[in-house]
Structure 1
């Protein structure tokens, strides 16, 4: 297989590139040169938002292209139009954020979507991802595969959610653990996303798929206990009711990453119907493996973990955490 990845040097794009190389595919990555490409790939240089920045893509043909873009939809549109007729399948790594809020529990791929346009410039994340889907579909039709990922974690994460928990727990001591501890979580390990995506390309799949673990694959308690085991830290998880955390002004998802208390937002982020993806071969590794491998990756960095410049840093500050723990 000949695969083109628009990006391919960080987190999701890199995981897909590495998985494709492992399968013996011929992989080309198109990027600006700010990060080292994965070993074994061909490199095409360009800046897709600059005038003439797609020149390196004006020649060549591929079985599939993978695009992880999360900015202006018209950037996806322009790349899709340029590659039309020379690419067999267009894979767009989208998001479950494309569903209109609030999304009911158990929402499948036919749920209501946000309003967006493939011609949009800079818009909010939800409309950007939906506009990207529309851009891919307008050019490639049923040859467009829309991977609607939820929370993505695992080695290489550059948003900082699981890395924050691992580093916090590694410091030891009392840890503010948001309850309920048995609250089910949905996420996808980036390597499972990559493997499923490549298998879907081989199978010739198109259309939209919710790509997160089945409901109940893990819980908040299982995730944080896995962090304690992986780090070997002398950490004490202090389980705290959501009402106490919220009353202290601590923001779910950002200041306590991954965690969302029960309610509408929780239903949207952690209660998706993934029947379609599972039927199409989605396999999710145990949370303990994801956590342990992410910790091993972090320890091997020898410095600060990567952080996407377009995403704010996550995590609650030690002073606020200590104040809440003190009651």
Structure 2
């Protein structure tokens, strides 16, 4: 197949491009040119900002794509521009997020508002633009994946709703809150209840799902949750990370108002963000690799590349203060 990827040179998009090239597809990457991964040298590279896509319509038409994968639409405008440029009638795969669900608002606000696991028809958030007031670096204030899904719906796109994605190349280093303490020689780690169930998936399994969706006509126009079929709690995940790093840690329950900021994920959460993956299994015949192997793969990569944030004296002092505030002691 001839596949046009919008994005495709960092983390999830890079893994998708690598998988498609590996199976022999002809791949064109439309991106800003800020990164040029050597393993993607065989791809055709078209450089430009998302807003400039219409100016590159002739190049895209000359490429004659059989399908398009949009890895980095963040706003309604992003989706509308892309949907207006790609040729009519070709399949489109769009990466969305499970933050579209009302449950995610409950997770942020600390209120239980939705039953889990979440099927694809679960209620969506009523509040739009999650980061309007305080957008993270690189995220526009108008970020909204609900808008992205609606913008691509006119083209009958397949929407893949992603969970917390981890693995080699993850710029967020999802395991970093544990690994940075292990690298600093910390054995006792203060935690809260650690009960949160938050669906996760390894980046290579996400890439495999995109490849599967491209080959499944029955998936066109559908919305599909992606996630590992079993999800352990945050506390259990921390133990998996430590085991993969061959480290012994003691998770010490402390007063939750004493937790350092990077450990707030371990506090008691009344609303889980856990999804039902049966549709992905049925429509895509998608079966992620065993979780333990995937966690080990990710941890090895992050340790080799030293990606966790550096440990500081202020971090040590914050952990020590929390450890002096055991749970249930006033």
Structure 1 length-normalised TM: 0.80
Contact 1:151–1:187 at 8 Å: present in 2 too? yes
Q: Deviations over 1:96-149 (max 9, x none)?
A: 1112344332221112224569xxxx5454xx21111111111x12xx110011
2:225 to 210, 213, 225: 210
Per the alignment, residue 288 of structure 1 pairs with 292
Q: Deviations over 1:264-286 (max 9, x none)?
A: 2xx2x2x2222211223232223
How far, CA to CA, are the matches of 1:161 and 1:147 in structure 2?
20
1:225 to 234, 239, 243: 239
Contact 2:195–2:266 at 8 Å: present in 1 too? no
C-alpha distance 248-162 of structure 1, shift in aligned 2 (>3 A): same
Contact 1:161–1:257 at 8 Å: present in 2 too? no
Contact 2:32–2:49 at 8 Å: present in 1 too? yes
Contact 2:54–2:85 at 8 Å: present in 1 too? no
Per the alignment, residue 134 of structure 2 pairs with none
Per the alignment, residue 48 of structure 1 pairs with 50
Contact 1:9–1:35 at 8 Å: present in 2 too? yes
Deviates more, 1:276-285 or 1:24-33: 276-285
How far, CA to CA, are the matches of 1:194 and 1:185 in structure 2?
20
2:68 to 50, 59, 65: 65
Consecutive unaligned residues in structure 1, runs of 5 or more: 307-315
Contact 1:169–1:175 at 8 Å: present in 2 too? no
1:323 to 305, 321, 324: 321
How far, CA to CA, are the matches of 1:132 and 1:240 in structure 2?
40
Is the strand fraction higher in 1 or 2? 1
Per the alignment, residue 80 of structure 1 pairs with 83
Contact 2:69–2:94 at 8 Å: present in 1 too? yes
Give the 5 Å matches for 1:1-327.
1-37=1-37, 38-39=39-40, 40-50=42-52, 54-55=56-57, 56-85=59-88, 88-100=90-102, 101-102=105-106, 103-114=114-125, 123-125=141-143, 128-138=144-154, 140-141=155-156, 144-176=157-189, 178-180=191-193, 184-204=197-217, 205-206=219-220, 207-214=222-229, 216-233=230-247, 235-240=248-253, 244-245=255-256, 247-248=257-258, 250-251=260-261, 255-256=262-263, 259=266, 261-264=268-271, 267=272, 269=273, 271-280=274-283, 281-301=285-305, 304=307, 317-327=315-325
Q: Deviations over 1:25-68 (max 9, x none)?
A: 11111111111234332211111234866454353221211112
C-alpha distance 36-151 of structure 1, shift in aligned 2 (>3 A): same
Q: How many correspondences in the alignment?
A: 297
Q: Deviations over 1:282-318 (max 9, x none)?
A: 32223322222123322443x5469xxxxxxxxx933
Deviates more, 1:151-160 or 1:61-70: 61-70
Consecutive unaligned residues in structure 2, runs of 5 or more: 107-113, 130-139, 326-330
How far, CA to CA, are the matches of 1:145 and 1:274 in structure 2?
15
How far, CA to CA, are the matches of 2:43 and 2:12 in structure 1?
15
Contact 1:169–1:227 at 8 Å: present in 2 too? no
Q: Deviations over 1:68-107 (max 9, x none)?
A: 224322122111111132x611111001111234433222
How far, CA to CA, are the matches of 1:98 and 1:184 in structure 2?
17
How far, CA to CA, are the matches of 2:53 and 2:166 in structure 1?
34
- Return the offset for 1:219: 3.4
Contact 1:223–1:288 at 8 Å: present in 2 too? no
